[in-house]
Every structure is written in structure tokens, then in C-alpha cells.
Amino acid sequence: MMLVLSRRDVLELLPLSDCIAAVERAFRLHAEQQTFGPGVLGVSAGAGSVHVKVAGLRGERSYVAAKVNANFPDNPRRHGLPTIQGTVMLADAETGRPLAVMESASVTALRTGAATAVAAKFLARRDARTATIVGCGAQGETQLAALAAVLPLQRAWVLDSDHARAEAFAARAATDLAWRLSARTIAESKSSSRRWSRRRRSWWMSSSSAPRSASCSTRSRRACSRVKACTPSSATS
């Protein structure tokens, strides 16, 4: 019998901590050549794009998963719909029999945050206490929660081009994590980064009109995870 899992089902059945452990195991299996794929395809569609990603794991029982995501950035403003919508199908890799179909936006958010957590677990300083999140959308919240799951963080900077959104993000995260969070706009962060870089050339921050990353040099021993939306050009590259 094939399972059909809604967003609520996914979030109830897959805690972030379990997702981090699963992603770490998948990375190890990939390094051990126990995976196949991935295969990717992306196409433009109207005001957005659709991309397909397929990959699988080998083992005592092998699995293959295919994710189809639609990315329509204007959906929230124009239609009151999420930017990301789609499904993930999990199948038996020996027979192709579908085992489950699930809502993909929740899986995408959890998996992306989990990948950052695994990287931070092995690459960040063990005594890291401060995180910086550039971009205060849904993925930013997952990224911060994932970092908090693997590092002894005590405070965070959150930055966005929309100051109100950054403030709301900081308020929610401060309640959930019991931390001190400081919200800033991108313009403020650019000014601060210029002043800081004049004093300490080892630190720098890159941003654009749609910021996606905070980057730091290895000399300063800061870890960086860059996360961006998938577009047809990036999906096929």
C-alpha cells in the first residue's frame, strides 16, 4: 500500500534531528559509492520554474526518490500560495513500486537545513557561539534551527532587505531558542561590514538585492553555508 503524506505528516514524522542524522548517513553512503544519481532537470514555466531531481541509495533494500518542485516566487503576493510546491515519490529501486508520495516543500526545507548542520558539525569551530543568517524567509528559520541543533550557539544576527521581516524572524527565533537575536537590514549590514573589513580584513560579507549568502575567509576560522533557490539554469548545471 502506498503512503500519502501531507506537510503536517512530514513535519510530525521527521524531526529535524532525525533528518540531520539521515542526511549525514546519506553523505557517507555517497562517499562509499552506495548511491546512484543524481539526475536533474529544470524548465521555465510561466512566472516560475519546475525542476526534477532523482537519486537513490543502495543497501539490503534499495530505494529511489524523485522530487518534483515548482518554484514560483510571486505566488505569495499574487495568489496567496507558497513559493515552493511539489511532491516527492519514494519507490523500491529493485521493482520500481511506489512506496510513498509526500509533500515536498517541508522535505526540501528540512533536508537543506540538515545539510548545513552536517557541514557545520564537521567544519565549524566547536566553540562557535554566534550565527549569522542572511535572508529571513522560511529557509532561514530552518537553517538557524539546524545550526542550533549541532552547535552551542548563544546568539544570532539575522539580516534581510525587509527590516520588518527580520524583526519578526528574530522575535520568533528568540522565543523558540531563548537566545539573543539582533535584526538588521541589508543596507545596515553593508555599512557595518565595510567598517569591520577596514579593521579586520579577514571578515567579509557578500550580498545582493536578493541576498543568499554570508561568507567568511578561512583565515578567520569562520564556517559558511551558501544556500540558494533552484532555477532551471542551476538545476541543470
Residues 199 and 168 in one domain: yes
Q: What is the pLDDT of residue 173?
A: 85
Residues 131 and 226 in one domain: yes
Looking at 58-144, which runs of residues are DSSP E strands? 63-71, 84-92, 98-103, 130-134
Residues 181 and 224 in one domain: yes
Mean pLDDT lowest among 132-146, 189-203, 218-232: 189-203
How does pLDDT run across 74-128, given as a tens digit for each residue? Answer: 999 899 999 999 999 999 999 999 999 999 999 999 999 999 999 999 999 888 8
Q: Is residue 117 part of a domain?
A: no
CATH of the domain at 133: 3.40.50
Selected residue with higher pLDDT from 193 and 30: 30
Cα gap 164→158, rounded to integer Å: 11
Residue 73's nearest CA partner among 237, 228, 235 is 228
Residue 209's nearest CA partner among 161, 137, 143, 140 is 161
Query: Which three three-digit cell numbers place residue 174?
Result: 528568540
Residue 201 in this model has a pLDDT that exceeds 80? no
Query: Which three three-digit cell numbers place residue 109?
Result: 526545507
Q: Is residue 236 part of a domain?
A: no
Residues 142 and 221 in one domain: yes
Q: Is residue 45 part of a domain?
A: yes
Residues 225 and 186 in one domain: yes
DSSP assignments along 45-79, one per residue? ETTEEEEEEEEEE-SSS-EEEEEEEEE-TTHHHHH
155 touches 129 (CB < 8 A): yes
- Range among 139-143, 180-184, 201-205 rated most confident: 139-143
Q: Is residue 118 part of a domain?
A: no
Calculate the average pLDDT of the chain: 82
What strands, in cross-sheet order, belong to the sheet with 155-160? 130-134, 155-160, 180-185
CB atoms within 10 A of CB 18: 12
Final residue of a structural domain among 82, 108, 134: 108
Residues 138 and 75 in one domain: no
CATH of the domain at 44: 3.30.1780.10
Q: Is residue 213 part of a domain?
A: yes
Residue 213 in this model has a pLDDT that exceeds 70? no
Query: Which three three-digit cell numbers place residue 218?
Result: 578561512
Residues 147 and 95 in one domain: no
Residue 151's domain comprises 124-231
Residues 34 and 88 in one domain: yes
Label residue 185 by pLDDT band (50, 70, 90).
low
Residues 66 and 133 in one domain: no
Final residue of a structural domain among 108, 141, 167: 108
Q: What is the pLDDT of residue 175?
A: 82
> Which amino acid would we find at residue 107?
V
Burial 55-72 (b: 16+ CB within 10 A, else e): bbbeeeebbbbbbbbbbb
Beta-bridge partner residues of 134 = 159
155 touches 181 (CB < 8 A): yes
Residues 222 and 187 in one domain: yes
Residues 196 and 131 in one domain: yes
Candidate list 67, 121, 190, 228, residue with the active-site label = 67
Mean pLDDT lowest among 122-131, 191-200, 201-210: 201-210
Whether 67 sits among the annotated catalytic residues: the reply is yes
Q: Is residue 183 part of a domain?
A: yes
Domains contained in the chain, number: 2
Q: Is residue 113 part of a domain?
A: no
Which residues, including other chains, have CB under 8 Å from residue 46's CB and lie 6 or more apart? 72
Q: What is the pLDDT of residue 139?
A: 87
Mean pLDDT of 28-48: 94
The proportion of the chain whose per-residue pLDDT surpasses 70, expressed as a percent, equals 76
